[in-house]
Structure 1
Amino acid sequence: MSANKARGTTWESAVVAYLREHHNPGARRNVQMGAKDIGDIDGYYLHALEAKAEKAITLSSYIAQANREAVNASQPYGCAVVKRRMKGTADGYVVRDVATDVRLMNRFRDAEELLKEYQFDVWYEHDQHHRAA
């Protein structure tokens, strides 16, 4: 295995471990699918996730790849999780284009407005929990 491939595999494994601990215990690395690749990691809610651990960061290609893979994975959003040099997993970057981020924020806003309207007490507890986190 090449050093670059090993670095990528190590980063993917670190991201999966982080997601399992903090987001989704079922997160896992995907098997590569060739032309119909579905992203490197499954289990990041609503996203096809492309993990990148490269010396030279090329955000435009990462985002284009993540967006293509989101379509292949039937996920509404794509993002890249980019390793930050000399830092741990939690200090990496989650990157998506502005259009994707706006769609995601609109979804969150609409969901919270519905919850607030129909279950104010539940919304209030949810809001307080996430403000403190």
Structure 2
Amino acid sequence: MSNPSKAKGTAFESLVVAYLREHHNPATHRNVQMGRLDIGDIDGYYLHALEAKAEKSITLSDYIAQANREAINAGQPFGCAVVKRRMKGAADAYVVRDLATDVRLLNRLREMEFALRGVAPAAWTLIDRQHREAA
């Protein structure tokens, strides 16, 4: 690849895909770029259009605006940017979204947990315990 910045971005996207395949969703993959109707860099991050960024100069507002536009294009309820930290791997990257998106996500999580707890309390307890132990 003749463009070093593009090569750096592609390499970071590949690292994020590998991490998500191992720890989140084995079907995670990089998306083909679609111009103004782009659907995010990576598919398979549950409920999200994911924009991966590995740039020297970080512009969070641009990343979030792009991720939110691409979430609409992808038909996903949430957009986020995964921003590379210097000298760190994918697991140490930052996941960034605006507060309004985060509140919508947490409200959905709370409502789904409340519903599950009501119909399957034993399953809710098991899932809750697993996630608390993983922290």
Q: TM-score, normalised by structure 1?
A: 0.99
RMSD of aligned alpha carbons: 0.4
The Cα shift of 1:17 comes to 0.2
- Paired residue type of 1:119: A
The one-character-per-residue Cα deviations of 1:20-40 (angstroms, maximum 9, x if unpaired) are: 000000000000000100000
Number of the residue aligned with 1:55: 56
- Give the Cα–Cα distance (whole angstroms) in 1 for the partners of residues 33 and 117 of structure 2: 41
Q: Is residue 29 of structure 2 the alignment partner of residue 28 of structure 1?
A: yes
The one-character-per-residue Cα deviations of 1:66-95 (angstroms, maximum 9, x if unpaired) are: 000000000000000000001111000000
Q: TM-score, normalised by structure 2?
A: 0.98
Q: How does 1:40-79 map to 2 (within 5 A)?
A: 40-79=41-80
The one-character-per-residue Cα deviations of 1:6-65 (angstroms, maximum 9, x if unpaired) are: 000000000000000000000000000001000000000000000000001000000000
Q: Structure 2: 5+ residue runs without aligned partners?
A: none
What secondary structure is seen at the aligned counterpart in 2 of 1:112?
Answer: helix
Number of the residue aligned with 1:115: 116
Q: Structure 1: 5+ residue runs without aligned partners?
A: none
What secondary structure is seen at the aligned counterpart in 1 of 2:22?
Answer: helix
What secondary structure is seen at the aligned counterpart in 2 of 1:64?
Answer: helix
Percent identity at matched positions? 70
Number of the residue aligned with 2:8: 7
**Number of residue pairs aligned between Structure 1 and Structure 2:** 133
- Give the Cα–Cα distance (whole angstroms) in 2 for the partners of residues 91 and 99 of structure 1: 24
- Paired residue type of 1:53: A
Number of the residue aligned with 1:98: 99
- Paired residue type of 2:13: E
- Give the Cα–Cα distance (whole angstroms) in 1 for the partners of residues 89 and 8 of structure 2: 14
Q: Kindly report structure 1 stretches of 4+ aligned residues shifted beyond 6 Å.
A: none
